Amino acid sequence: MRVLITGATGLIGTEIVRLCHEKGIDVNYLTTRSSKISSEKAYQGFLWNPDKEEIDLKCFEGVSAIINLAGASISKRWTSSYKKEILSSRINTIQTLHNGLQKINTTQITSFIAASAIGVYPTSLSNFYTENDTRVDDSFLGEVVQAWEGALQPLKKFAFNLAIIRVGLVISNHGGALPEMAKPIKSYVGAAFGTGQQWQSWIHITDVARVFLYAVENQLQGVYNGVGPNPVTNTKLVKEIAKVLNRPIFLPNIPKFIMKLMLGQMSYILFASQRVSSKKIEEEGFVFEYQNICRALEQSYPQNSKVASIDTSKDTKEFV
């Protein structure tokens, strides 16, 4: 079996590649950087330029499934120009794949699995969202996810199965939000944000990679939430990170206006609240390895380990 992955060098993509190789699945991947091209049989790189809708059609050879993870990171200040990049990086990658698929024989491709985000759900302290909920958050994130998933709809004309995975907060010490949350806690200045009651629907990095591969192997269709079964509040998450790092939490919660001064509009992601259900993917037979936040954090930060720093060399267009 051979899978084509966009965003293979990003946080989730790296873990998916690792799991693919464990299972004996070969990987083709697309990258915007020639320096990241590899020519190994089990890991072959191909160039593309989504901004110009350019793609090496050889990337599809021998491929039976496609996993799309590409998109500029949302964890940078949301200037007007960067907002456009966040949106265009998602739309352009999908359109480039779509155009490429129109030029080849797609009969050997059985699945297309696309990343999305739970940011589409309206922020709420009381709602418990399932994939059937059609409401969209009245925010930039809601706008992005709606357009992101909308760009996937033309792919339905192909014979392969199309599945969308709405990813929550990824628990990993190798990148994403967790190392940034851990830094102030390790420096004894950690605190919850706002009321601390906002829900964080999280998933361990290994589990989210397994969800994508599970969707490929079982040829799933439709929308699935890529979150673990037990969401926690921001206060609970901060306390559990502190416990794993053996640090006290003694400062008062950080007010929203302070974070807005520091981060601008991007601070919205710290206070948005989405309590999201994992029931649908579980009903498909998926079993989470990490069902509670304590175990997920303990695996991410083993006892006496140092907080990992983010690898800033990764291409921010490889995945959110």
In this structure, what CATH number is given to the domain that contains residue 34?
3.40.50.720
Check residue 36 and give its pLDDT. 83
Residues 6+ apart with CB under 8 A from 138: 122
Q: What is the dihedral of CA 58, 60, 62, 66, to 10 degrees?
A: 150
Can you read off the two tokens belonging to residue 315?
Answer: 């291409």
End-to-end CA separation in angstroms for the chain: 26
Compute, in degrees rounded to 10, the torsion defined by CA atoms 255, 260, 263, 269.
80
What is the reported pLDDT for 303?
59
Contact 80, 131 (CB under 8 A): no
Residue 110 placed within a domain = yes
| Cβ atoms within 10 Å of 81's Cβ, excluding its own | 7
Indicate the DSSP class of residue 310. Answer: P
Distance from C-alpha of 315 to C-alpha of 85, rounded to nearest angstrom: 13
Domain assignment of residue 261, yes or no = yes
d(Cα 159, Cα 217) in Å, to the nearest integer? 16
Asked, for residue 311, whether it belongs to a domain, the answer is no
The pLDDT, as a whole number, for residue 319 is 44
Q: 194, 254 in Cβ contact below 8 A?
A: yes
- Is 305 contained in some domain? no
Q: From CA 62, how far away is CA 174, in angstroms rounded?
A: 31
> DSSP per residue over 137-161, as a string?
-SSHHHHHHHHHHHTTGGGGGSSSE
User: How confident is the model at residue 75, as a pLDDT?
Assistant: 84
Q: What is the pLDDT of residue 41?
A: 87
pLDDT of residue 163: 98
Per-residue pLDDT of the chain (320 residues; tens, 9 = 90+): 999 999 999 999 999 999 999 999 999 999 998 888 888 889 999 999 999 999 999 999 999 999 999 999 898 899 999 999 999 999 999 999 999 999 999 999 999 999 999 999 999 999 999 999 999 999 999 999 999 999 999 999 999 999 999 999 999 999 888 988 999 999 999 999 999 999 999 999 999 999 999 999 999 999 999 999 999 999 999 999 999 999 999 999 999 999 999 889 999 999 999 999 999 999 999 999 999 999 999 999 985 344 333 333 344 344 43
For residue 193, give both structure tokens: 């944000």
In a domain, 255, yes or no: yes
Q: Residue 153 burial (CB < 10 Å; 0-12/13-18/19+)?
A: exposed
In a domain, 24, yes or no: yes
- Whether 264 maps to a domain, the answer reads yes
φ/ψ (deg, to 5) at 121: -75, 140
The tally of domains found in the chain comes to 1
Please report whether residue 117 resides in a domain. yes
Q: Where are the beta strands (DSSP E) in the chain?
A: 2-6, 26-31, 39-40, 43-49, 54-55, 65-68, 111-117, 161-167, 169-171, 199-200, 202-204, 222-226, 232-233
Report d(CA 89, CA 72) in Å as an integer. 6
Range of the domain at 225: 2-300
